[in-house]
Amino acid sequence: MAMVSLKRYLTGEKPKPEALIAALLRFIQLTLQGIELNAVEGDKPECLCFRERIHALAARLDAGADPEKLLVLAGELNNCIETYHCSVNRFVRLQSHEYRTIVSMLTHIVGDVSGATEVSVARLHAIEQNLERAAGSEDIRVARAQLAECLQGIRSERILQTQNAANIKLDMDRAIELSAARLRDCSIAPDLDACTGLPTRQAAEAAIAASIAASRHVYAVLFILDRLQAINVRYGYSAGDRMLARMAADLNGQIRDQTPRFRWGGPAILFLLDRSDPLPAVQSVIKRIVSRRLEETLEIDRRSVFLTLSYSSAIVPLFQGSSAHEVHMKLDQLAAASQAQIAAS
């Protein structure tokens, strides 16, 4: 009824003074309730104080304020709202400055220390810019929520980086263990020839002695590269080494089993064939191997050199009562005779 009377007054009708006063009082009461309930909360103690003042003004109206003093109440209300408005603005500015400082520090720390991705650093820069433009407490709350989300993302990135670092450390530990195992193997393995990758003569002599001591039916087969000395003289030792490496690769392809093989020295490579076959059968197999001719093209002094790879052979049975020293001498003699024969041809 009071609100209807106020409407009539605003439209030019002449309501009763009592009804008009009641309508104004009711309007002010509703306004005070709306202000009290919807006040923006900046600093919590100041917000509580503001609501208490609004509540006190509303209580004075409920107690029946003198109509002549309504203007005084309105002035007090206006002063109260203006004071709180200044307080909220000051709080927003302080909060904005504080968060800008925090975000700026976080941006530098995250970029320089934690190793976060460029995406996270860019998000922090965007939040810092939003805080600079913040005009109200709602802007502060939005920026704070964005900051919390960004920090959670950085935390997830950090966890992932920790996991990746642990995996890298595990891989490195495994690689170190594997390298250590290989070093241990190398420490007990025979020395390898740098040119052919085969064990050296020292290992070959030990293998020959072991075969003789065990009375095994083993043939020492010597393969001699033809014209190695001539290749070294004409094209250099690097060319001779490449031809020896090519010969070793070819023989490894021809004799694929676990037959022991060694670099005997000079142009010779030694195989220890553990065969029960008679000597003619072994000679037939070896003859077929050495009958092949291979071709190799070398780049020497910026020009291509075409060479033909061929080699001869010699066989010494280890089960005929000879000593290891006698076998060594026999192999050296056969290698020297083969080279002399090739040189004379």
Place of tokens 């309730």: 33
Most confident residue range from 26-30, 130-134, 265-269, 298-302: 265-269
Q: Confidence class of residue 219 from pLDDT cuts 50, 70 and 90? A: very high
Higher pLDDT, 303 or 199: 199
Tens of pLDDT, residues 107-128: 666 555 555 556 666 666 676 6
Share of the chain above pLDDT 90, in %: 20
> Minimal CA–CA distance to 283: which of 342, 204, 221?
221
Q: What distance lies between CA 292 and its chain's CA centroid?
A: 51
What 3-state DSSP class applies to 273? strand
Place of tokens 């030990």: 206
Helix (H) or strand (E) holding 271: strand 268-274
Q: What is the pLDDT of residue 230?
A: 85
Tens of pLDDT, residues 327-341: 999 999 998 888 888
- All structural domains of the chain, each given as residue ranges with its CATH number in brackets, are 2-92 (no CATH), 201-344 (3.30.70.270)
Range in 24-28, 136-140, 176-180 the model is least confident about:
136-140
Give CA separation, 70 vs 36, 54, 206, 337, in Å: 19, 14, 121, 134
Q: Residue 311 has which token pair?
A: 């080699």
Confidence (pTM): 0.46
d(CA 185, CA 4) in angstroms, rounded, equals 104
Give yes or no for residue 9 having a pLDDT over 80. Answer: no
Give yes or no for residue 13 having a pLDDT over 50. Answer: yes
